[in-house]
Amino acid sequence: MSAWRQAGLNYINYSSVAAQILRRSLKPEFRADALKRDASHVRITPWADGKPAAKAQQAK
């Protein structure tokens, strides 16, 4: 078993690390555009009894 599997990572985690490194290793003219794909934003609002139970949290 590979070391990252042993550490509790899965292939999705592996893939995102690999993609991130590749984006950083591009020629400057392609890099700026590629780095925009690094970030992702998810807003989570927990609900209880049909109402939002807490304010929206910004997840990474």
CA pair distance 36, 53, nearest whole angstrom: 32
Residue number, 30 or 46, with CB nearest to another protein: 30
Cβ-contact 31, 23 below 8 angstroms: yes
Binding mask 17-46 for another protein (x = CB under 8 A): xxxxxxxxxxxx-xx--x--x---------
Least Cβ distance, residue 19 to another protein (angstroms): 4
Least Cβ distance, residue 60 to another protein (angstroms): 14
Beta bridge partners of 51: 48
